[in-house]
Chains A and B, each alone.
Chain A
Amino acid sequence: MNTDFGLNKHLKSFLYAIWIPAILVILWTIGSNTRVLNNSIFPTPQKLFGAWYEMIISGKYLTHVISSFSRVIKGFFVGSILGITLGTIIGLFSSAKKSTVALIGMLRPIPAIALIPLFILSLGIGETSKVAVIVLGSFWPILINTIAGLSTTDSKLLEVGTIFDKSKRQVLFNIIFPSAAPYIFTGLRLGVSSSWTCVVAAEMIAASSGIGYLISYGREMAQPATLFIGVFSMGLYGLLIELLVINLQKKAIYWIPNSK
């Protein structure tokens, strides 16, 4: 009875999530097959999925996906280590905060994507410059949220540490870091979405593989199907990554009831 209800609920929320995309697909199918939609821009679903299937069979698709993912993983890894480390230092020491507040305020509004040409000039057109964009893209949200998390520890809990005479190290690991964890996780979540956006942008400008490359290649070769494979993949993997991170977050921040 109970599980029945649970299943029902899942099905319901799935239907809620899916009905608008389903209508869009139907409209797209009708529109492209009746040529209301221009076929040189909007391929028919049959054509798109046919091309997609061929690309998967030939193994090319997997190569593109892997090269995008490996860039994201590298960049996100470096970006989050940098963001968490620097964020911790800035969040803990008010002198570090005062010294960097103006600098951060100035640099942060510059989108990582705007720096792609600069990275290409300084780091060359190879992998390094693309990974660098992702590092920067993930770095900012992680940095900012880590700083916020570490500098907003509830003073009432810190006083508990004082009363029980705990060392600085114990206070850091038993009170400050756990209470910053939800913030740091929010940073990581924003960072990973930003990484994904950045990799596609970097690949559109300079790459010979990857999902971003599929998009720019499709445009240059006037192959709308290829272009849409890239666009759809971007959305699909973005969604999957987001779901994965939300699930990890739920597990990591187990003490917040119904954390999203």
Chain B
Amino acid sequence: MSIEIRNVKKVFPIKNSTIEVLKNVDLKISDGEILSIVGGSGCGKSTLLRIISGLDNATDGEVIIDGKKVDGSSKKDIGVVFQEPRLFPWSTVEKNIEFGITDKLTKEEKKERVKYYIDLVGLTGFEKALPHQLSGGMQQRVNIARSLINEPKALLLDEPFGALDAFTKINLQNEVLKIWEQKKTTLIIVTHDIDEAIYMGNRVVVMSSKPGVVKKEIPVELPRKRNRTGTDFAYIRRKIYKEFFEETEV
């Protein structure tokens, strides 16, 4: 699924005035690409994802998916891993994940698929637990599994691994990449972790804030599977850090 963001602008009314959260955002994500977005807190990353997924409308500009302009009501087959877990407190881990299934499946097929994804995110044994009985990171893994089980054509991940320890994080990054290799899902990953952005992305977009604009696009032309400690990796990392330090100095 290809996604094109043309000149998107977003203004929120706050009390009697307005704040401009996104200004002239232009991005092209081709089918099967992984785009990483990094940027300071509050620069409009979540807002951008909401607009792409159709949960919110742009004040100006347009989003074009597979060559067609989208409006709020059209069906899009885009998945979202929300920044917060957003689980149903009354449903077990199993039921929460099952909620993500939209394909018509038999009971057995559903059960099997749920089992597969519970295992994938390392929550075997917690099938019957309720969200309030899980740690924050475990809740986030349920959130991720619920979106992965949906198998959408494009998946928007909003700081998906932020709450996880380094091992679980690397593990899940690899799982997502594995799914991407199999299904060629278009991925947009918002993250605060620059290494993660480089490790995952075909391109890294740096956004700056107030108003949020695309400051720089940095291609990551490294072969998979990438070596986080390599010199090429370090070179790209330095390039991205430079963008941030410039910004704070201004």
List A residues at the B interface (Cβ < 8 Å). Answer: 156-157, 159-160, 162-166, 174-175, 178-179, 181, 254-257
**Do residues A163 and B99 form an inter-chain contact, with CB atoms below 8 A?**
no
Minimal Cβ-Cβ distance residue in A for B80: A163
A160-B82, A163-B53 in contact; A178/B75 too (CB < 8 A)? no
> How far apart sit A157 and B89, CA to CA, in the bound complex (Å)?
10
Q: Does B132 contact A (CB under 8 A)?
A: yes
Q: Does B55 contact A (CB under 8 A)?
A: yes
**Do residues A159 and B55 form an inter-chain contact, with CB atoms below 8 A?**
yes
Q: Does B88 contact A (CB under 8 A)?
A: yes
List B residues at the A interface (Cβ < 8 Å). Answer: 53, 55, 75, 78-80, 82, 84, 86, 88-90, 99-100, 102, 130-132, 146, 150
**Do residues B86 and A160 form an inter-chain contact, with CB atoms below 8 A?**
yes
Residue with the highest number of chain A CB atoms closer than 10 Å, among B88, B102, B131, B150: B88
Minimal Cβ-Cβ distance residue in B for A163: B80
Residue with the highest number of chain B CB atoms closer than 10 Å, among A162, A165, A166: A165
A sample of 28 cross-chain residue pairs with beta-carbon separation below 8 angstroms, ordered by A number, consists of: A156-B86, A157-B86, A157-B88, A159-B55, A159-B82, A159-B86, A160-B82, A160-B99, A162-B55, A163-B53, A163-B78, A163-B79, A164-B100, A164-B146, A165-B102, A174-B88, A175-B88, A178-B88, A178-B90, A179-B90, A254-B90, A254-B130, A255-B89, A255-B130, A255-B131, A255-B132, A256-B89, A257-B132
**Do residues A164 and B88 form an inter-chain contact, with CB atoms below 8 A?**
no
* B88 neighbours in A (Cβ, 8 Å): 157, 160, 174-175, 178
Q: Which 9 A-B pairs have the closest CB atoms?
A: A255-B90, A178-B90, A255-B89, A163-B80, A160-B86, A156-B86, A165-B102, A255-B130, A257-B132
Residue with the highest number of chain B CB atoms closer than 10 Å, among A156, A160, A165: A160
Chain A interface main SS type: helix
Minimal Cβ-Cβ distance residue in B for A160: B86
A157-B88, A178-B90 in contact; A163/B55 too (CB < 8 A)? yes
A203 to chain B, nearest CB (A): 40
* A174 neighbours in B (Cβ, 8 Å): 88, 99
B247 to chain A, nearest CB (A): 30
A117 to chain B, nearest CB (A): 45
B184 to chain A, nearest CB (A): 21
Minimal Cβ-Cβ distance residue in B for A161: B99
Minimal Cβ-Cβ distance residue in A for B156: A163
**Do residues A156 and B75 form an inter-chain contact, with CB atoms below 8 A?**
no
* A166 neighbours in B (Cβ, 8 Å): 99
A173 to chain B, nearest CB (A): 12
> How far apart sit A156 and B100, CA to CA, in the bound complex (Å)?
15
**Do residues B75 and A165 form an inter-chain contact, with CB atoms below 8 A?**
yes
Minimal Cβ-Cβ distance residue in B for A165: B102
* B146 neighbours in A (Cβ, 8 Å): 164
> How far apart sit A163 and B52, CA to CA, in the bound complex (Å)?
12
Residue with the highest number of chain B CB atoms closer than 10 Å, among A164, A178, A181: A164
> How far apart sit A166 and B75, CA to CA, in the bound complex (Å)?
11
A15 to chain B, nearest CB (A): 32
> How far apart sit A179 and B86, CA to CA, in the bound complex (Å)?
13
> How far apart sit A40 and B63, CA to CA, in the bound complex (Å)?
85
Minimal Cβ-Cβ distance residue in B for A162: B55
**Do residues A164 and B86 form an inter-chain contact, with CB atoms below 8 A?**
no
Minimal Cβ-Cβ distance residue in A for B101: A164
> How far apart sit A156 and B130, CA to CA, in the bound complex (Å)?
18
* A157 neighbours in B (Cβ, 8 Å): 86, 88
* A175 neighbours in B (Cβ, 8 Å): 88
Minimal Cβ-Cβ distance residue in A for B78: A163
- 18 more A-B residue pairs beyond the given contacts A163-B78, A255-B90, with a C-beta to C-beta distance below 8 A: A156-B82, A156-B86, A157-B86, A159-B82, A160-B86, A160-B88, A162-B55, A163-B53, A164-B100, A164-B102, A164-B150, A165-B75, A165-B102, A174-B99, A178-B88, A179-B90, A255-B131, A256-B89
* B90 neighbours in A (Cβ, 8 Å): 178-179, 181, 254-255
> How far apart sit A175 and B80, CA to CA, in the bound complex (Å)?
18
* A165 neighbours in B (Cβ, 8 Å): 75, 102
**Do residues A164 and B99 form an inter-chain contact, with CB atoms below 8 A?**
yes
> How far apart sit A179 and B80, CA to CA, in the bound complex (Å)?
22
B81 to chain A, nearest CB (A): 10
B189 to chain A, nearest CB (A): 17
Residue with the highest number of chain B CB atoms closer than 10 Å, among A163, A164, A165, A255: A163
* B78 neighbours in A (Cβ, 8 Å): 163
A154 to chain B, nearest CB (A): 9
> How far apart sit A178 and B96, CA to CA, in the bound complex (Å)?
13
* B55 neighbours in A (Cβ, 8 Å): 159, 162-163
> How far apart sit A173 and B150, CA to CA, in the bound complex (Å)?
20
> How far apart sit A203 and B18, CA to CA, in the bound complex (Å)?
61
> How far apart sit A254 and B133, CA to CA, in the bound complex (Å)?
12
